[in-house]
Structure 1
Amino acid sequence: MPEGHTVHRLADAFEQGFGGRRVRVSSPQGRFAAEAERLDGQVLVEAEAVGKHLLLGFAPSADTALTDPAVSFVHVHLGLYGSWTFAGDAGFASAPAIGAPRRRVGEVEGDLDVEQDWRRLVPRATVRVRIAGPDGLADLTGPTACELYDATQREALLTRLGPDPLRRDADPSRFVQKVRRSRSGIGVLLMNQDVIAGAGNIYRAEALFRARLDPFVPGEHLTASLVEGIWEDLSALMDYGARTGRIVTTEPEHRDIEARIVERSRGTRQNGDDDPAVVPREKSFYVYHRQTLPCRLCATTVRSAELAGRTVFWCPRCQSVRSRRAVWSREHPAAAWALPGEGLGSGTAGD
């Protein structure tokens, strides 16, 4: 499932490819046909990401205010199997595909030159929504949710979700308060989108390692400063992810230590994996998918367990904090973190 930074990149791709343009909207699959007919010929006035949710605002004209009742919002949650794929003129969108399975539009068209002949591309029967503008198109397949919202429903979604570290209007105090009032483990809370929107399984594992925090410690046992530190670290990590399409949490001096990862059958794929200039995935994480391998910092075997419906990964030695009364010090030799810098390498198109 795409993490929040990916959905923000998706919103940027829509702004770049369709923002302020009148578009054609269709539903080749038929499951969004009535809604598509209503939106067809309108202008995309906004593409907005909040956590793992994408909201595309459509209006009769480009100067329609977002508060106008005439504005409708397509709400999309990709889930595990959803994806948007793009095709168009050179420079049309910032990514050819976002989500799973990351197959580009037209890959089944044989020798067709997608960039030159994108207008001739016939949508697959599984395409829920096709949006086509003057410079390109985008196809949606396999989403968990694809529905039409009005302004009230959009506002209700924004109110329900926790603060998103990538949004300018985010209020980190909401995150801090919800964590410190909960008896649930911090590893559970970081996966709860009503507590913090956009963090997924990779960010959960890596942020907790960087904080030296045991995933099972109850939120109510944590100090405000510690929870604020998690927010600040996630904000920096996710901002890097939004800019590059890659999750990289390791510091440069740690990347060549035990540079291994326990791959699944499909592998932990990231944007730009084929680019030798970026940090390879086996060097990108401290604990995520490194179960049974030595910790990069202390050589203790990294562990894994089921938590909140997903597998959590942690180092039992480095992450030993279980309460605010436990001994914890930022002077731990491996506890001083620099933020990911531009030297990490930039991603290429595709997420």
Structure 2
Amino acid sequence: MPEGHSVHRIARQFERNFVGRQVQASSPQGRFAAGAAELSGRVPTKAQAVGKQMFLEFDGQVWLRVHLGLYGAWDFAGEILVDPTIASANGRMGQTNQRGTDLGGADDAPVFDDAGENSLTSIGAPRKTRVHVRMSEQTKGLDEADGLEAADAEWPPPVVGQVRLRLMTDVTCADLRGPTACVVETPEQIDAVIARLGPDPLVGDPAENEERFVAAVRRRNVAIGLLLMDQSVVSGIGNVYRAEMLYRARLDPHTPGKAIPEEIVRELWHDWDRLLRIGVETGQMMTMDGLEGEAWRKAMAHRDDRHWVYHRAGLPCRVCGTEIVLEEMAARKLYWCPGCQR
């Protein structure tokens, strides 16, 4: 399931490429035909992510709410302006957030994943589009605007697979597949949804967010491994960030929230803030500190080289050598080290 950093990146793509531009909406799959008809011809005025949900406001006080869930993803095609605050411009944003990314650097050499794919051009479903990427002023061969350019493209792009919703401007297309939620809602309904969500470090007042998180954790006699996955306690954390944050804090996942010292809970919050910002910037859930040069590039290209415990069941802990444990907690996989986290 895409975690919070991916959804923030998607919202930034919409902010940069769709907000202020009239869109045509359709539902090639047919399951969102009524909603698409209500959106078509309107102008998006705001794009916002809170945790794992994205909210796209349109003129006329109409909102689109999307929760990608386990299988959802957005595909972008056409001319795509890249948000300058993020270091890579994945074509497909959602499930593919674990693929390699372009780190720039002196030679602007892309980092490829195990399968030899680069997320800058491998955007999921096959397309009749040749995409060029410009990530910095040093990149050669493109014009002055940071972004993606489609050459020799078929327009509009062919519909591939089960597309729940297609949003199109004159030059940019976004296709949504497999979401858990894709609904048109009123401002009041959107407010109610956001009110039920826990704090997101990138949304709202930082001090207030921290206090909400600390209070929510310390009043509960529930395992911290469950609390971090509870979207009413904190927004955006999924399986990967949960395992990694608990390891970084050297916390036993089974420790009740109310038994954790306040200073440790506050450190958890600040660590989530740091990791989320790194994820938004790089497009990867990088959770190991102190990596440089080739070690950093290797970690960005391979999931198993950028995590402390996630996906490492049966392997020795990178610090103490204890075998990493895999167990189920509330029907979700939990990775942790019994040696370091006790």
Pick the TM interval, shorter chain. Answer: 0.7 to 0.9
Q: How many angstroms does 1:148 deviate by?
A: 0.7
- Aligned residue number for residue 160 of structure 2: 124
The amino acid that maps onto 1:307 is M
Deviation track 1:147-196 (CA, whole Å, cap 9, x = no partner) reads 01110011101110000122243511111111111111000000000100
Question: CA 1:15–1:153 in structure 2 vs 1: closer, same or farther (change >3 Å)?
Answer: same
The alignment of Structure 1 onto Structure 2 pairs a total of residues equal to 292
Question: CA 1:167–1:77 in structure 2 vs 1: closer, same or farther (change >3 Å)?
Answer: same
- Aligned residue number for residue 177 of structure 2: 141
| SS of equivalent residue, structure 1 residue 128 | strand
Q: Hey, what's the Cα distance between the residues in 1 that align with 2:292 and 2:96?
A: 31
Q: Is 1:219 aligned to 2:257, yes or no?
A: yes
Q: Is 1:96 aligned to 2:118, yes or no?
A: no
Question: CA 1:280–1:122 in structure 2 vs 1: closer, same or farther (change >3 Å)?
Answer: closer
Q: Which has the higher contact order (CA 8 A, sep 6+)?
A: 2
Shift >4 Å, 4+ stretches: 253-256
Question: CA 1:92–1:134 in structure 2 vs 1: closer, same or farther (change >3 Å)?
Answer: farther
Taking structure 1 as the reference length, what is the TM-score of the superposition? Answer: 0.78
- Aligned residue number for residue 103 of structure 2: none
Aligned pair partner of 1:84 in 68, 74, 82: 74
Q: How many angstroms does 1:39 deviate by?
A: 1.3
- Aligned residue number for residue 308 of structure 2: 286
Question: CA 1:150–1:169 in structure 2 vs 1: closer, same or farther (change >3 Å)?
Answer: farther
- Aligned residue number for residue 113 of structure 2: none
Q: How many angstroms does 1:278 deviate by?
A: 3.5
Report sequence identity in percent: 43
- Aligned residue number for residue 299 of structure 1: 321
Question: CA 1:101–1:9 in structure 2 vs 1: closer, same or farther (change >3 Å)?
Answer: closer
Q: How many angstroms does 1:255 deviate by?
A: 11
Is the Cα contact below 8 Å between 2:214 and 2:266 reproduced in 1? Answer: yes
Is the Cα contact below 8 Å between 2:164 and 2:177 reproduced in 1? Answer: yes
The amino acid that maps onto 2:18 is F
| SS of equivalent residue, structure 1 residue 86 | strand
Q: How many angstroms does 1:254 deviate by?
A: 11
Is the Cα contact below 8 Å between 1:92 and 1:135 reproduced in 2? Answer: no
What is the CA RMSD across the aligned residues, in angstroms?
2.4
Deviation track 1:273-297 (CA, whole Å, cap 9, x = no partner) reads 9x76936322211110111111111
- Aligned residue number for residue 37 of structure 1: 37
Q: Is 1:199 aligned to 2:237, yes or no?
A: yes
Gaps of 5+ in 1: 60-69, 260-272, 321-351
Q: How many angstroms does 1:99 deviate by?
A: 1.7
- Aligned residue number for residue 313 of structure 1: 335
Is the Cα contact below 8 Å between 1:191 and 1:308 reproduced in 2? Answer: no
| SS of equivalent residue, structure 2 residue 65 | strand
The amino acid that maps onto 1:122 is P
**Residues 48-197 of structure 1 mapped to structure 2, 5 A cutoff:** 48-59=48-59, 70-89=60-79, 91=81, 94-100=89-95, 104=123, 107-109=126-128, 113=130, 115-116=150-151, 117-124=153-160, 126-169=162-205, 171-197=209-235
